Amino acid sequence: MTLLEIFPSLRSAMTPRLDPAVWPASTHVDDHDRITVAGVALADIADQYGTPSYVLDELDLRHRCRTYREVFPEAEIAYAGKALLTRAVATWVTEEGLSLDVCSAGELAIALSAGVNPRRIIMHGNAKTPAELSAARDAGVGRIVIDSHAEITLLAATLTRRQNVLVRVTPGIDAHTHRAVATGVTDQKFGFPLEHGQADEAVRRVLGQPRLNLIGLHCHLGSQITEVEHFRTAVDRMIAQMAQIRIDHGTILTELNLGGGHGISYVCGDPQLDLSSLAATLDDALDDACARHRFPRPRITLEPGRAVAGRAGVTVYRVVSVKHVTGGRTFVCVDGGMSDNPRVALYGAHYSVALANRHSIAAPAVVTVAGRHCEAGDELAVDVQLPSDLHPGDVLAVPGTGAYHHSLASTYNAVGRPPIVAVRDGRSRELIRRETVEDLLRREVSG
């Protein structure tokens, strides 16, 4: 019998195990002190589907889609499929009224196989191949975002009918904030810089192609942006450019796509982008910029990905060993790692970790949760507090793993990628099955 069973009143006085800013909204602790998501115990997920497994709260993801629609009622919201795209996810977001942006022929194929209306698809990519442009053309996607001069020529040469396009512009804004990646600065691979007339030249070339119907501009400032004022600056510069295009070419562009990059919390205390503040800022910035340039207000498109899927996901692992290094760290080694979550190694990302299969009253210990792969840098969480009585067989849960985990997963060390398990109303179902050794061997064509 545990102390909590003898004195139940202690439970309400304890520090909460789960920060509501980090975990799915449906996360709770059941009567057996196990963490549950959408009424399903994560320990049961581990037992039924194995570990590691990605767990995805369907209603949490749908709720975030609806929130965007409510906060930005006059804008188009296009879910950024690069964050996480399966047929089920494509179905959920479009059922909630969102469009979809894709950046490869593979993502386009997933969307089309889910029955997504191609007119609601935006095709991205800084190095689209001829085959990808042909696939987008043949599918009849609603918009293609032009990202290079070569793309202008190639796309125009293969079209048999007019195609709506946007020109991607880099507005020269460094939105590098808390753990952000900046893509709105001039010196990077995406788009055409406003500086030195490069965006102007791209617009001129597009307008010179009769089968390319330029309807707007696109920009993307980066990822994990939490300060709304960066978007005010973007609106000001983009409206100024659209007004100049009207002066130079007599063309009024009607769409302004401001991309995504909306920051979320991964650990307690992380800042996140406030959507209501963003909506007010965009509205004010548009009123001001359009009035100054006497330019008709364009339709706005936003492309959230992480902000829709990130917090809906939790990854479960099983502890394989606990290793105490004299004079050094304590390593809690689990059966996953950088093959299912490369973000720690790639970006120095930080995550919360919790014991999911039981509640411990042991003193906390500062540990490093390490992965199973043959790399010293294969660490999932460094200097996190977990109970000192952790042992092999325990189940750990890492929240905030709905975005850029399945999408970035690899088969390093010939370890198959985890399944995606959707949870809703106390039930679970596989969306993507676990990749097996047989799957890996099936790709071999000679020996």
Encode pLDDT of 369-415 as tens digits: 999 999 999 999 999 999 999 999 999 999 999 999 999 999 999 99
Encode pLDDT of 305-338 as tens digits: 999 999 999 999 999 999 999 999 999 999 999 9
Predicted confidence band at 187 (pLDDT cuts at 50, 70, 90)?
Answer: low
Predicted confidence band at 429 (pLDDT cuts at 50, 70, 90)?
Answer: very high
Encode pLDDT of 65-81 as tens digits: 999 999 999 999 999 99
Q: Residue 395's beta-bridge partner residues?
A: 318
Mean pLDDT confidence for 89-118:
98
Confirm or deny that 418 is annotated as ligand binding: no
Confirm or deny that 54 is annotated as ligand binding: no
Q: What pLDDT sits at residue 264?
A: 96
Pairing assessment for the beta strands 222-223 and 181-182 based on DSSP bridges:
antiparallel
Question: How far, CA to CA in Å, does 380 sit from each of 28, 146, 316, 344?
Answer: 23, 37, 12, 6
Predicted confidence band at 8 (pLDDT cuts at 50, 70, 90)?
Answer: very low
Mean pLDDT confidence for 208-228:
95
**Dist CA 204 CA 385 (whole Å):** 57
Encode pLDDT of 20-32 as tens digits: 999 999 999 999 9
Residue among 33, 27, 22, 29 nearest 59 (CA): 27
Pairing assessment for the beta strands 354-355 and 395-399 based on DSSP bridges:
antiparallel
Confirm or deny that 347 is annotated as ligand binding: yes
Q: What pLDDT sits at residue 197?
A: 87
- The encoded tokens of residue 362 equal 């042991």
**Dist CA 51 CA 24 (whole Å):** 19
Residue among 141, 76, 73 nearest 107 (CA): 141
- The encoded tokens of residue 31 equal 């009567």
**Dist CA 388 CA 394 (whole Å):** 12
Tell whether domain 58-308 is in CATH 3.20.20.10. yes
- The encoded tokens of residue 265 equal 């919390």
Which residue in 65, 219, 268, 374 is the catalytic one?
A: 374
Task: Supply the pTM of this predicted model.
Answer: 0.93
Same fold, 3-57+311-442 and 58-308: no
Q: Sign of dihedral through CA atoms 141, 157, 257, 302?
A: positive
Residue among 339, 419, 424 nearest 86 (CA): 419
Active-site residue, 333 included: no
Q: What pLDDT sits at residue 196?
A: 81
Residue 242 pLDDT exceeds 70: yes
Most confident of the ranges 17-31, 149-163, 417-431: 417-431
Confirm or deny that 404 is annotated as ligand binding: yes
Q: Cβ-count burial of 307 within 10 angstroms (0-12 exposed, 13-18 middle, 19+ buried)?
A: buried
Q: What pLDDT sits at residue 11?
A: 40
| Domain chopping of the chain, boundaries | 3-57+311-442, 58-308
Residue 9 pLDDT exceeds 90: no
CB-based burial, 269-289: b 16+ in 10 Å, e otherwise: ebebbbbeebbebbeebbeeb
Q: Cβ-count burial of 123 within 10 angstroms (0-12 exposed, 13-18 middle, 19+ buried)?
A: buried
> Do 400 and 352 meet the contact criterion of CB atoms below 8 Å apart?
yes
Q: Residue 387's beta-bridge partner residues?
A: 364
| Segment among 1-5, 40-44, 151-155, 172-176 with least mean pLDDT | 1-5
Residue 278 pLDDT exceeds 80: yes
Residue among 257, 249, 240, 282 nearest 190 (CA): 257
365 Cβ contact partners less than 8 Å away, ≥ 6 residues apart: 330, 385, 386, 387, 388, 390
Residue 431 pLDDT exceeds 90: yes
Residue 13 pLDDT exceeds 90: no
Percent of the chain with pLDDT over 90: 89
Predicted confidence band at 2 (pLDDT cuts at 50, 70, 90)?
Answer: very low
Residue 253 pLDDT exceeds 80: yes
Per CATH, the number for 3-57+311-442 is 2.40.37.10
Predicted confidence band at 177 (pLDDT cuts at 50, 70, 90)?
Answer: low
Residue 5 pLDDT exceeds 60: no
Q: DSSP for 48-59?
A: HH-SSEEEEEHH
